[in-house]
Amino acid sequence: MSSVGTPDPNPGWLSDDELADVRSRLPLLYVEAVPVRVDGLGVVTEVGVLLRANAAGAITRTLVSGRVLFGETLRDALYRHLEKDLGPMAFPQLPASPVPFSVAEYFPFPGAQFTDERQHAVALAYVVPVTGTCEPRQDALELTWMSPIEAASDAIAAEMEGGRGALLRAGLASVGRLF
């Protein structure tokens, strides 16, 4: 006997069990973004880094990040995660081209440049200017704006999980702001 139910508003999402099963079998595709403020010439003047509590309860710094859903374009995924993490008034200026500044491959074991204990994942990384007011949402506790020099420091890299400090530095290098 079948029952009539409300259609899933997010049919691209997997249940926790399905996601765990997929993570154990396949690499997943993610987008990551380094939110920045730029001056009138397009030069990066500030970098936004999120503060979050990880699964173990430790406070860490991170970038905007999230999965690409089945049937979702990279642009749509990037926009969705920027809005989810920075709020609807962030007004991200998505890049004209979907070509990332880097492709980061995360592995679930130590020794890799990028690690994620949950899964093998591939992340396309972008530097994205935001022009509006950013108010972190979801599991982000705070967004800290800092100069490119501060963001690229060893101290900030040490607070970032999974090698994201190196990814942040690569993003700054891609826009000519790594000193």
Report the CATH number that the domain containing residue 83 is assigned in CATH. Answer: 3.90.79.10
- Domain range enclosing 98: 22-174
Cβ 162 vs Cβ 168: under 8 Å: no
Which residues have a Cβ under 8 Å from the Cβ of 101 and sit 6 or more positions away? 125, 126, 127, 170, 171, 174, 175
Record the pTM: 0.86
DSSP three-state, residue 114 = strand
Report which secondary-structure segment, H or E, holds 22.
helix 16-23
Q: How confident is the model at residue 172 (pLDDT cuts 50, 70, 90)?
A: very high
Q: Does residue 7 sit within a domain?
A: no
Structural domain includes residue 83: yes
Residue 22: pLDDT over 50: yes
Question: Do the Cβ atoms of 85 and 138 come closer than 8 Å?
Answer: yes
Whether 64 shows a pLDDT value over 50: the answer reads yes
Cα-flanking dihedrals φ and ψ of residue 164, to 5°?
Answer: -65, -20
Domain count, the chain: 1
> Is residue 57 assigned to a domain?
yes
Query: Looking at 17-21, 88-92, 125-129, which range is the least confident one?
Result: 17-21
pLDDT of residue 2: 39
d(C-alpha 17, C-alpha 123), whole Å: 22
Q: Is 6 contained in some domain?
A: no
Q: CB of 7 within 8 A of CB of 107?
A: no
Asked if residue 17 is part of any domain, the answer here is no
* Whether the predicted pLDDT of 5 surpasses 50: no
Residue spans of alpha helices (H) in 34-129: 74-86
Looking at residue 122, what is its pLDDT? 96
Residue 1 is assigned to a structural domain of this protein: no
Q: Is 125 helix (H, G, I), strand (E, B) or coil?
A: strand
Residue 8 lies in a domain: no
More confident call, 16 vs 70: 70
Q: Is residue 179 in a domain?
A: no
How far are the Cα atoms of 37, 44, 86, 139 from residue 135, in angstroms, in the given order? Answer: 15, 20, 5, 12
pLDDT for residue 140: 84
